């Protein structure tokens, strides 16, 4: 099934390019989305596996920490996590300097 998706994307790109339709700049948002999705999968899959193994651990401190983190995240509504992440991201990113600051 994923091969069909790749073929569909390539076919759409070829069709739009043949019609002289799109520029590379219009694909930047798509490429950013694909990069963020792949980075999230690559970074979070090992973290999730470690949490699952930690939940099954016989060492009580590791088990308590893993179960506590899992239950905290599982019990928090998604909108709260998204708003918290957006707020933290906005507060950590500084605007680009304009050259007028002293």
pLDDT in tens, 74-86: 888 989 988 988 8
Please list the alpha-helical segments (H only) found in the chain. Answer: 2-18, 28-55, 60-75, 78-92
Give the angle 89-93-94 at the CA atoms, nearest 5°.
Answer: 155
Check if the beta carbon of residue 16 is closer than 8 Å to that of residue 22.
yes
Answer whether 0.75 is exceeded by the pTM: no
User: Does residue 13 surpass a pLDDT of 80?
Assistant: no
Domains of the chain, residue spans: 59-90
d(CA 61, CA 3): 45
Give the pLDDT mean for 33-39.
87
Task: Report the alpha-carbon distance of residue 55 to residue 99 in Å, rounded.
Answer: 51
Q: What percent of the chain has a predicted confidence (pLDDT) above 70?
A: 82
């Amino acid at each position: 099934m994923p091969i069909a998706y790749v073929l569909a994307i390539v076919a759409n790109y070829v069709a739009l390019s043949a019609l002289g339709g799109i520029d590379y700049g219009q694909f930047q948002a798509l490429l950013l989305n694909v990069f963020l999705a792949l980075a999230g999968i690559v970074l979070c899959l090992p973290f999730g596996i470690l949490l699952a193994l930690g939940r099954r651990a016989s060492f009580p401190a590791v088990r308590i920490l893993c179960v506590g983190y899992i239950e905290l995240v599982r019990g928090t509504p998604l909108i709260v996590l998204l708003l918290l992440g957006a707020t933290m991201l906005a507060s950590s990113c500084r605007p680009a300097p304009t050259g007028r600051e002293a």
